[in-house]
Structure 1
Amino acid sequence: MDRPFTRRGLLKGSVLFVAGAAVSACSTADPLARTSSAPAAGAPKITLTHWYHEYGEDGTQRAAMKYAADFTKANPDIAVKVSWIPGDYATKWTAAVLTADGPDVYEVNDVSPNMVKAGQVTPLDEVLGAEKADFNATVLEPYTWGGRLYAVPMIIDPMLVFYRKSLFQQAGVAVPTSFGEFAAAAKALTQGKRKGLFAGNDGIGPLNTMVPWSNGNLLIDDREIIYDDAKVVEALTGLKGLYDGKTTLQGYSTDWWDPGALITGAAAMQWVGLWAVPGMTAELGDDVDAFALPAFGPGGRAVVNMGGWVQVVNGKSRNLEAAKKYVRWLWVDNTAAQTDWSLAYGFHIPPRNSAAAQAAKLGSGPAKTVMDAVAAHGVKQPALWTPEVRQPYVDAATAIVKKGADPEKTLAAAARRSQEILDKVPAL
């Protein structure tokens, strides 16, 4: 699961870099339009198109343009057209890569077997090369099909529980080590208008998945749906108890991905991501820290959810080798750019382990706590747990937690629907 980004307009449209110079830009241009002008004499022989979704952090678009310009300076035969795609990015890239006129390089959260079968991605093992060992193996795994790797990570976004240390101290609460202690902490921290926990405006948020994970069930095992299981019943029953205890904040002005509820004191704990650390520490100083969602009970495990974005190359690109060269230059070789992209505008983990280890901003305070939690407890969403496959589960979890539906019967019926959907996904 990956956070929605706040949409703030930066420079809209596309910019084409030729020999390192921006030669065209228009704030009113169609952001999906490809360049149609033929190269002038002496111009690069190849033009790559590179799509980004519209990041919310100020400076990200300018940074993307700078990276493209720097690449062309180093590779004068290859120009790069950067396109910043506003609105529903997933719908737009999905439509664009149905034909050979789609972007050469684009970013996604997930790579499915359908994308591989359709040629919308191409293997990138040679792009990572020997440096593959320097990337987080947990992050790489969901992008590997048939023994081939189809994506290069751009940023890692861990999500876990952040809390106000002063409020814990006032309530006599210690960092919980089990779900029972977590629920008890939420109750003790609920005082007056303040709630103990904010995990989403529906009172559940990502915990519908995270709590079963913490009880040892990832809901899907390769091509088998496994959430029709006593461990998931137990986890959702525990989550229902937390919800029924009226200790979870609901209907806040922003959702779980924004740290506002923790900052204002509307909640004492909040499920949110590493990206929120700068804003929280700017407002709260050293009064904020974090912990992994604790193990539900015996046989469970603490959980940090590893989200993020990855770069893929369109298998239908007319310039496959040039596109691969660009991706390797930017997302494998250029650790300075990777660190800049992760930490100069937003706050994320650079995907190369060596770059993350050398990032001073990640070496102290809550960021260091998160880094340690990631190393010990990081879990990545299984690749086939797609929106379509998981929707019956999400509906079932909501019915169980919020409406008191029978957990065994509800999960069994939902699991059959999820399995039917999963069975239609091609095998590789």
Structure 2
Amino acid sequence: MHNRRTFLALAGVGALAAACGSNTGRQGTAPPSTAYSAGPPPSDAPKVTLQQWYHAYGEDGVQEAVKRYAASYPGASVNVQWNPGDYDSKIVTALQNSAVPDVFEAQVKIDWVRQNQVVSLDDVIAPVRNDFSPAVLAAQTVEGKVYGIPQAVDTQVLFYRKSLLQAAGVQPPQTVDELIDAAAKLTKDGVKGFFAGNDGGVAVLTGPLLWSAGLDYLKNGNREVGFDDPRAATALAKLHTLNANGSLLLGAPADWSDPGAFVDGLAAMQWTGLWNVPKIRQAFDDDFGVLPFPRLDATGAPSVPVGAYGAMVNAKSAHVAEAKAFVKWLWIDKTDDQLEFATKFGFHVPARQSLVGQANSLATGPAADAARFVRENGHLVGGPVWTQQSNTALSDAVAKIAKEGADPVEQTKTAVGVAQAELKRLFG
């Protein structure tokens, strides 16, 4: 089912998107926002009709909630369209050819901006811009301008069974080598040590492995390749070690985004989404913990990938001003609805830092730990300038390293070359 968790895999090599870096320290009530000039029309003016698109969230209640939000908007008639299936391709096609939808959720791509397909929302977000951490906004920012208002944040973390680690004399791993050793020691009695997807971790661990070494997809304002460094090959080679030593669960009935392998006792540790906390808690009560992906070594850093769809406005819309006013009303002004959207129907972190403290579901235990990881260790996977061509090249390289034992230096060099060519295409 296409849902929020799918969004976190869209980059192919990991969890797409926006990350929380520094914390503003503000908790409690969200800051007030100032009036926006394209506000609701006078009561005697005819209302325009706006078309708003969402992908098909898998959680019960989301569709009804967003329709309720739209119906309560005083400034326009808003028709919500639910889009099962390949939503992302549908958005790409719509932006090229159509004035519909007026408002939609996505993560901006630089090509959309270059082709004048989306509208800058700097004026909409300005009053509360600092309530979003810089890295959350980075997922919606191209060349300094914001094109999407982040809606809710998802992340992935390392879940582990406390009792199984204690029985094996294993401490929660703090480095990649400790993770490899722990996975080996926990592999016994029909239980594998670690599950990170049926592809052996290629899709979801590429970003965390780069970050573990203190590297990234891009650097220097997204103008240079961020993994053109010998440490990248060293980090990515660790995934081959995990795949080759028999400690990874492969061929699980459900993939990494589902907690089934962990809940059913097939693996002692699993890399999966924060959204699975309720099911895991139901299965194990307090017998689990969560960690960020560990650092490679003393000069690296722990990490979690963080994703957030943003509300965006179609530049071809016949009602751009009205669409911007609606986006401001829903995703800037209506903080109660924003909190509900993030926390009532699934297990997500509010995009606004001032709302995190109001989320009861994130107040204690592993959920509170994960919210802290988002704030302190969050990273953007790729981002608006990281293109599909670059992504495919890196993903192919990591798959060959992990599954075939291909030379990590040569494979990394090949991916660097493709990414450099893409940056040259974009920036000259």
**Contact between 1:362 and 1:368, CA under 8 Å: does it hold in 2?**
yes
Is 1:190 the counterpart of 2:192 in the alignment?
A: no
Q: Shift of the alpha carbon at 1:165?
A: 1.2
Q: Look up the SS of the partner of 2:57 in the other structure.
A: coil
Q: Distance in 1 between matches of 2:400 and 2:361?
A: 42
1:216 is matched with which residue: 214, 217, 221? 214
Q: Distance in 1 between matches of 2:252 and 2:382?
A: 30
Q: Shift of the alpha carbon at 1:196?
A: 0.7
Is 1:153 the counterpart of 2:150 in the alignment?
A: yes
* 1:39-95, Cα deviation, whole Å (9 max, x unpaired): xxx995300000000110011110010000111xx33xx100100011100111111
- What is the one-letter code of the residue matched to 1:351? A
Structure 2 residue aligned with 1:404: 405
Q: Shift of the alpha carbon at 1:203?
A: 1.1
Q: Distance in 2 between matches of 1:317 and 1:369?
A: 42
In structure 1, runs of 5+ residues without a counterpart are 7-41
Structure 2 residue aligned with 1:237: 237
Q: Distance in 2 between matches of 1:3 and 1:399?
A: 25
1:103 is matched with which residue: 101, 104, 125? 101
Q: Distance in 1 between matches of 2:298 and 2:122?
A: 39
Alignment of 1:12-411 (within 5 A): 44-71=46-73, 74-75=74-75, 78-108=76-106, 110-204=107-201, 205-221=203-219, 222-383=222-383, 384-411=385-412
Q: Shift of the alpha carbon at 1:246?
A: 0.9
Aligned length, in residue pairs: 386
Q: Distance in 2 between matches of 1:299 and 1:253?
A: 37
Q: Look up the SS of the partner of 1:97 in the other structure.
A: helix
In structure 2, runs of 5+ residues without a counterpart are 9-43
- What is the one-letter code of the residue matched to 1:286? D
Q: Distance in 2 between matches of 1:386 and 1:60?
A: 30
**Contact between 2:217 and 2:381, CA under 8 Å: does it hold in 1?**
no
**Contact between 1:100 and 1:318, CA under 8 Å: does it hold in 2?**
no
- What is the one-letter code of the residue matched to 1:96? A
**Contact between 1:5 and 1:56, CA under 8 Å: does it hold in 2?**
no
* 1:261-297, Cα deviation, whole Å (9 max, x unpaired): 1111111111111111111112221112101111111
Q: Shift of the alpha carbon at 1:426?
A: 5.3
Calculate the TM-score normalised by the size of structure 1: 0.87
Q: Distance in 2 between matches of 1:208 and 1:374?
A: 18
**Contact between 2:140 and 2:310, CA under 8 Å: does it hold in 1?**
no
Q: Distance in 1 between matches of 2:317 and 2:368?
A: 40
**Contact between 1:313 and 1:320, CA under 8 Å: does it hold in 2?**
yes
**Contact between 2:176 and 2:296, CA under 8 Å: does it hold in 1?**
yes
Q: Look up the SS of the partner of 1:98 in the other structure.
A: helix
Structure 1 residue aligned with 2:39: none
- Greater CA drift, 46-55 or 387-396: 387-396
**Contact between 1:107 and 1:310, CA under 8 Å: does it hold in 2?**
yes
Q: Distance in 1 between matches of 2:88 and 2:164?
A: 40
Q: Which structure would you say has the larger RCO, counting Cα contacts within 8 Å and 6 or more residues apart?
A: 2
Q: Shift of the alpha carbon at 1:236?
A: 1.4
Q: Shift of the alpha carbon at 1:5?
A: 7.2
Q: Distance in 2 between matches of 1:135 and 1:142?
A: 11
**Contact between 2:98 and 2:316, CA under 8 Å: does it hold in 1?**
yes
Q: Shift of the alpha carbon at 1:97?
A: 1.3
Q: Distance in 2 between matches of 1:132 and 1:209?
A: 26
- What is the one-letter code of the residue matched to 1:4? T
C-alpha root-mean-square deviation of aligned residues, in Å? 1.8
**Contact between 1:144 and 1:150, CA under 8 Å: does it hold in 2?**
yes
**Contact between 1:52 and 1:84, CA under 8 Å: does it hold in 2?**
yes
Q: Shift of the alpha carbon at 1:406?
A: 1.5
Q: Distance in 2 between matches of 1:404 and 1:379?
A: 27
Structure 1 residue aligned with 2:5: 3
Larger Cα Rg: Structure 1 or Structure 2?
A: 1
- What is the one-letter code of the residue matched to 2:63? Q
**Contact between 1:138 and 1:379, CA under 8 Å: does it hold in 2?**
yes
Calculate the TM-score normalised by the size of structure 2: 0.87
Q: Look up the SS of the partner of 1:177 in the other structure.
A: coil
- What is the one-letter code of the residue matched to 2:164? L
**Contact between 2:342 and 2:349, CA under 8 Å: does it hold in 1?**
yes
Q: State, as a whole percentage, how many aligned pairs show the same letter.
A: 39
Q: Distance in 1 between matches of 2:354 and 2:415?
A: 42
**Contact between 1:302 and 1:377, CA under 8 Å: does it hold in 2?**
yes
Q: Distance in 1 between matches of 2:229 and 2:134?
A: 28
Q: Shift of the alpha carbon at 1:208?
A: 2.3
Q: Distance in 2 between matches of 1:119 and 1:424?
A: 18
**Contact between 2:160 and 2:268, CA under 8 Å: does it hold in 1?**
yes
